[in-house]
């Protein structure tokens, strides 16, 4: 297995090394399995598809939506279709080995991008140095606390990605290895599963109980630099900033603005956005004897549903 610890020109790099068994055929078909198309994942897929088109290849894409079993089914479909090669961003770094084994038995090359498999080998892995990204985030957090208190101390919230994926494991390890060297820092770790809405809920819940919370680290903040590690991603980020009315200096000032947010700011915004009289209560199933304690006139209650 060859590991490339970089993501620039991912698709072109893959295209230059694919030793396809049917390269001389009239048509080369690549099966690509993505876990989702949010943020960088959309850019990774677009890079591969565009590079394939430039070579005259067809790239058939599927999206699992974070469902590891669906990804296995999608890859098995690629094998049944006898594609020339399979490229995937694994939902489950260990679970994907079932598909890798099936592809090898069918003599189909298998490559992964962004995440490496665990427990099996593929023909090539192309990914960033995720341990280093976590380590750098940890170092930045320590420096922030030193600047605030004169020494590395306080409470830090770490929101991880999906821990079934080695990218989240590596980033977490890099971050935690730095934090553990500072015994006066209390680390609170919560799993966010790459879900920004879930991350917001975690921050809200922890902030409401930890009045002296000093720093909150989510994957969005900790891996912010990874949004700019290819030309296409830089262009996409700058375009998005312009569309939202932000200037180019936002990139430099973003983390400073996040650091400037106080607990009072968080509580003020939460009070404005979270209205107790505008909540929807949903019950899944139909428990015997369960009745709503909230009068319909005071709030909206969704009727119980059968599972």
Q: Say which CATH number the domain at 17 has.
A: 3.40.50.2300
What is the band of 296 on the pLDDT scale with cuts at 50, 70, 90? very low
Least confident of 122-126, 226-230, 273-277: 273-277
Give residue-wise pLDDT tens across range 166-207: 888 998 999 999 999 999 998 989 988 877 778 778 877 776
Asked whether the beta carbons of 74 and 88 are under 8 A apart, the reply is no
Domain, as residue range, for 74: 2-126
Query: pTM of the entire structure?
Result: 0.57
For residues 107 and 44, state if they share a domain: yes
For residues 145 and 265, state if they share a domain: yes
Helix (H, G, I), strand (E, B) or coil at 154: strand
Asked whether the beta carbons of 13 and 126 are under 8 A apart, the reply is yes
Spell out the residues 6+ positions from residue 259 whose beta carbon is closer than 8 angstroms to its own. Answer: 144
Answer with the one of 91, 126, 161 that is the final residue of a domain: 126
Q: Across the beta sheet with 185-191, what order do the strands follow?
A: 185-191, 154-160, 213-217
Residue 230 belongs to some domain of the structure = no
Residue 279 has a pLDDT of: 55
C-alpha distances out from residue 108 to 2, 50, 86, 179, Å? 16, 22, 7, 43
Residue 241 belongs to some domain of the structure = no
Asked whether the beta carbons of 263 and 213 are under 8 A apart, the reply is yes
* pLDDT, average across residues 21-32: 71
Asked whether the beta carbons of 233 and 40 are under 8 A apart, the reply is yes
Spell out the residues 6+ positions from residue 153 whose beta carbon is closer than 8 angstroms to its own. Answer: 145, 182, 184, 185
- N-term to C-term CA, the chain: 45
Alpha-carbon distance 260 to 238, whole Å?
23
For residues 150 and 93, state if they share a domain: no
What tokens does 122 get?
């593929």
Answer with the one of 104, 126, 148 that is the final residue of a domain: 126
For residues 91 and 215, state if they share a domain: no
Alpha-carbon distance 128 to 132, whole Å?
9
C-alpha distances out from residue 12 to 55, 91, 206, Å? 10, 23, 43
For residues 146 and 219, state if they share a domain: yes
Helix (H, G, I), strand (E, B) or coil at 292: coil
Least confident of 18-22, 90-94, 272-276: 18-22
Query: What DSSP designation does 305 have?
Result: B
Please state the domain count of the chain. 3
Residue 300 belongs to some domain of the structure = yes
Residue 290 has a pLDDT of: 52
Asked whether the beta carbons of 134 and 187 are under 8 A apart, the reply is no
- Please tell me the number of Cα atoms within 13 Å of 282 on its side-chain side: 5
Residue 59 belongs to some domain of the structure = yes
Asked whether the beta carbons of 30 and 59 are under 8 A apart, the reply is yes
Rounded to the nearest 10°, the torsion over CA 193, 198, 201, 203 is: 40
Residue 285 belongs to some domain of the structure = yes
For residues 157 and 96, state if they share a domain: no
For residues 27 and 108, state if they share a domain: yes
Alpha-carbon distance 294 to 281, whole Å?
9
Asked whether the beta carbons of 91 and 68 are under 8 A apart, the reply is yes
Answer with the one of 94, 126, 158 that is the final residue of a domain: 126
Nearest to residue 222, comparing CAs of 269, 267, 156?
A: 156
Residue 244 belongs to some domain of the structure = no
Give residue-wise pLDDT tens across range 89-107: 999 999 999 999 999 999 9
Cα angle 73, 77, 80; round to 5: 135
């Amino acid at each position: 297995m060859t590991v490339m610890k970089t993501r620039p020109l991912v698709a072109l790099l893959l295209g230059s090394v694919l030793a396809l068994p049917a390269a001389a055929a009239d048509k080369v078909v690549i099966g690509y399995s993505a876990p989702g198309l949010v943020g960088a994942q959309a850019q990774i897929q677009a890079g591969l598809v565009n590079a394939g088109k430039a070579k005259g290849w067809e790239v058939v894409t599927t999206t699992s939506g974070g469902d590891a079993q669906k990804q296995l089914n999608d890859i098995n479909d690629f094998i049944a279709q006898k594609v020339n090669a399979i490229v995937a961003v694994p939902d489950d770094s260990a679970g994907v080995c079932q598909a890798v084994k099936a592809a090898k038995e069918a003599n189909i090359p298998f490559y992964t991008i962004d995440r490496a498999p665990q427990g099996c080998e593929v023909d090539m892995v192309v990914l960033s140095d995720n341990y280093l990204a976590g380590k750098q985030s940890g170092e930045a957090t320590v420096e922030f606390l030193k600047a605030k208190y004169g020494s590395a101390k306080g409470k830090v919230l770490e929101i991880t990605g999906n821990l079934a994926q080695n990218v989240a494991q590596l980033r977490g390890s890099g971050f935690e290895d730095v934090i553990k060297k500072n015994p006066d820092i209390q680390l609170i770790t919560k799993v966010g599963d790459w879900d920004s809405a879930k991350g917001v809920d975690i921050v809200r819940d922890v902030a409401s109980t930890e009045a002296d919370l000093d720093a909150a680290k989510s994957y969005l903040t900790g891996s912010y630099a990874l949004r700019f590690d290819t030309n296409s991603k830089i262009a996409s980020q700058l375009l998005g900033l312009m569309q939202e009315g932000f200037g180019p200096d936002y990139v430099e000032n973003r983390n400073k603005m996040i650091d400037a947010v106080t607990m009072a700011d968080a509580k003020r915004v939460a009070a404005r956005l979270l209205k107790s009289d505008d909540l929807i209560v949903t019950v899944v199933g139909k428990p015997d004897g369960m009745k709503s304690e909230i009068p319909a006139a005071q709030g909206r209650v969704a009727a119980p549903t059968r599972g």
